[in-house]
Structure 1
Amino acid sequence: MMGSSYSYINQLFFTKSAIRSTIAEDHLNLDDRMKSLISSDTFWNDLGKIQNFLENFAIFIKKLEGDKTFLSTAYFEYQQLKAYVRNNTDLPENIRKEVEKFGTNRCCLNTRIFDPIIEKETLSLVGEEYKNIVLTKLAKYVGKTGSFAHSHL
Structure 2
Amino acid sequence: MSERLDFNQANPAALKPMRGLEQYIAQSSIEKSLAELVRLRASQINGCAFCVDMHTADARKGGEDERRLATVCVWQETHLFTDRERAALAWTEALTRIATQPVTDKLYDELSTHFSEAERVDLTLLIGSINTWNRFAIAFRKPLP
Normalising by the smaller structure, the TM-score range is: under 0.3
Structure 2 length as normaliser, TM-score? 0.28
Structure 1 length as normaliser, TM-score? 0.27
Task: Work out which structure has the larger RCO, using CA pairs closer than 8 Å and 6 or more positions apart in sequence.
Answer: 2
